[in-house]
């Protein structure tokens, strides 16, 4: 009978298959058994799972869902990001890391305990909570998309680590920045100057092409921006000088033939990639320690704020969408605090002298 399901053999095969129904749909899957009795027991287990679903005790896992891997879920998320214009270099990098760490897992075999062990291992390796969270959040998004599409019915609990106190306090003074730049290879110097002046992220600067410039305005395309929103930067002052220097090295020779390079910043005609060793060596020679390339972004925000640039305008330049994130980058240095206290003391002295003069006049 239909409600009892059945087992059967396919032509020229010794393996038994099981067929059963749930809500009018037939499911077929191999029992993995050549023995008819054991195949029958496999079918009975499946019928119990179907019965549990029908009374609402537990959602039935289809044969297809049970075979899904995390790699397939992450591939689907990547495709979804590309369709929605969210496939930023950073998002793609995090998806790649999640695929490397979890891709071989069956989606329904990944448990909260396994995820916790993964988190513990990365903490032991010295990774920051925010960095770990980016990977596990992408994992959660992959599961959420699969559930939304009906591919899966459930997802494991994924812990979110506290990022309190995670904000870095690193930034560059102008002398420090000049010292680091002077020790960098020539083809990286304007790249760093541009990042320091605009607050653009490394990946955003790497993506810039000559097609992004119209007149004296450069526009970062939305697909290359971390927040997914395009933003424009007027090429004035130092930025204009940087672009003029880049025009002078736009043409490169390869195999005796000259060609025009598409990217504004390049190294021997190729888009700028990883240069961590060059960065660390330049910082060491300059006597500047513990600084990241991303600290240029913090420095740019701080400089704009101290120059009196309105916050709304500074956020447009740096690409911060929320005030809270902008404030994390608006770093107050010890020297700033010293200046503030000195000004306050001077004010108090001036105010005190006024009171004395008033009293004397009485």
Q: What's the CATH code of the domain at 228? A: 1.10.443.10
Could you tell me if 131 and 256 lie in one domain?
Answer: no
Distance CA 15, CA 146 (A): 31
Residue 329 predicted with pLDDT over 60: no
Cα angle 99, 100, 104 (rounded to 5 degrees) comes to 70
The total of structural domains in the chain comes to 3
Could you tell me if 261 and 136 lie in one domain?
Answer: no
What number is the average pLDDT over the span 300-320?
A: 77
User: 362 falls in which pLDDT band (50, 70, 90)?
Assistant: low
- Say what angle helices 70-83 and 129-148 make with each other, to 10 degrees: 90
For residue range 142-154, list pLDDT tens digits in order. 999 999 988 887 8
User: Could you tell me if residue 87 is inside a domain?
Assistant: yes
User: Could you tell me if residue 360 is inside a domain?
Assistant: no
What number is the average pLDDT over the span 31-57?
A: 85
What number is the average pLDDT over the span 137-163?
A: 90
For residue range 259-297, list pLDDT tens digits in order. 999 999 999 999 998 899 999 999 999 999 888 898 898
Which candidate, 209, 201, 208, places its Cα nearest to that of 226? 201
Could you tell me if 135 and 7 lie in one domain?
Answer: no
Q: Model-level pTM?
A: 0.53
Could you tell me if 137 and 198 lie in one domain?
Answer: no
What local confidence, expressed as pLDDT, does residue 126 receive? 86
What number is the average pLDDT over the span 57-78?
A: 82
User: Could you tell me if residue 195 is inside a domain?
Assistant: yes
User: Could you tell me if residue 162 is inside a domain?
Assistant: no
User: 79 falls in which pLDDT band (50, 70, 90)?
Assistant: very high
What local confidence, expressed as pLDDT, does residue 210 receive? 96
User: 353 falls in which pLDDT band (50, 70, 90)?
Assistant: low
Residue length of the chain: 362
Could you tell me if 313 and 192 lie in one domain?
Answer: yes
User: Could you tell me if residue 315 is inside a domain?
Assistant: yes
List Cβ neighbours of 357 (8 Å cut-off, separation of 6 or more).
none
**Which tokens sit at 201?**
């992220």
User: Could you tell me if residue 160 is inside a domain?
Assistant: no
Pairwise pLDDT comparison (320 vs 92), residue with the higher score: 92
| Strand ranges of the sheet holding 6-9, from the earlier edge strand across to the other edge | 6-9, 16-22, 25-33
Could you tell me if 178 and 271 lie in one domain?
Answer: yes
Could you tell me if 178 and 41 lie in one domain?
Answer: no
Residue 330 predicted with pLDDT over 90: no
What local confidence, expressed as pLDDT, does residue 308 receive? 79
Pairwise pLDDT comparison (227 vs 340), residue with the higher score: 227
Could you tell me if 96 and 123 lie in one domain?
Answer: yes
Domain end call among 40, 60, 80: 60
Could you tell me if 246 and 317 lie in one domain?
Answer: yes
User: Could you tell me if residue 86 is inside a domain?
Assistant: yes
Could you tell me if 79 and 53 lie in one domain?
Answer: no
For residue range 198-256, list pLDDT tens digits in order. 889 899 999 999 999 999 999 999 888 877 888 888 899 999 999 999 999 999 988 88
User: Could you tell me if residue 308 is inside a domain?
Assistant: yes
The residue range of the domain holding 89 is: 67-148
Pairing of strands 217-220, 213-214: antiparallel
Sign of the Cα pseudo-torsion (33, 37, 41, 47, in order): positive
């Amino acid at each position: 009978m239909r409600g009892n399901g059945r087992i059967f053999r396919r032509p020229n095969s010794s393996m038994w298959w099981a067929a059963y129904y749930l809500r009018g749909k037939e499911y077929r899957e191999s029992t993995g058994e050549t023995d008819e009795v054991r195949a029958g027991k496999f079918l009975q287990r499946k019928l119990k799972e179907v019965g549990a679903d029908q009374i609402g005790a537990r959602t039935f896992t289809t044969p297809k869902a049970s075979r899904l891997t995390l790699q397939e879920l992450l591939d689907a998320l990547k495709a979804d990001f590309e369709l929605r214009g969210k496939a930023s270099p950073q998002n793609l990098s995090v998806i790649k890391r999640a695929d490397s760490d979890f891709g071989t897992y069956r989606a329904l075999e990944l448990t909260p305990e396994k995820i916790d062990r993964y988190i513990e291992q990365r903490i032991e390796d010295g990774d920051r909570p925010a960095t770990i969270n980016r990977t596990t959040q992408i994992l959660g998004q992959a599961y959420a998309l699969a559930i939304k599409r009906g591919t899966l019915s459930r997802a494991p609990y994924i812990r979110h680590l506290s990022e309190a106190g995670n904000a870095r306090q690193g930034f560059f003074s102008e002398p420090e920045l000049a010292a680091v730049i002077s020790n960098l290879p020539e083809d990286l110097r304007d790249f760093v100057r541009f990042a320091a002046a605009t607050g653009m992220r490394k990946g955003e600067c790497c993506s810039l092409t000559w097609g992004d410039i119209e007149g004296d305005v450069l526009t970062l395309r939305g697909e290359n921006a971390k927040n997914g929103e395009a933003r424009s930067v007027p090429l004035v002052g130092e930025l204009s000088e940087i672009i003029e220097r880049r025009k002078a090295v736009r043409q490169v020779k390869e195999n005796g033939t000259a060609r025009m390079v598409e990217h504004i910043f390049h190294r021997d005609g190729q888009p700028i990639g990883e240069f961590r060793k060059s960065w660390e060596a330049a910082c060491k020679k300059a006597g500047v320690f513990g600084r990241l390339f991303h600290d240029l972004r913090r420095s740019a925000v701080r400089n704009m704020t101290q120059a009196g640039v309105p916050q709304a305008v500074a956020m447009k330049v740096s690409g911060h969408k929320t005030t809270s994130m902008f404030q994390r980058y608006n770093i107050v240095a010890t020297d700033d605090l010293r200046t503030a206290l000195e000004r306050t003391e001077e004010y108090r002295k001036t105010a005190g002298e006024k009171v004395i003069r008033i009293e004397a006049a009485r």
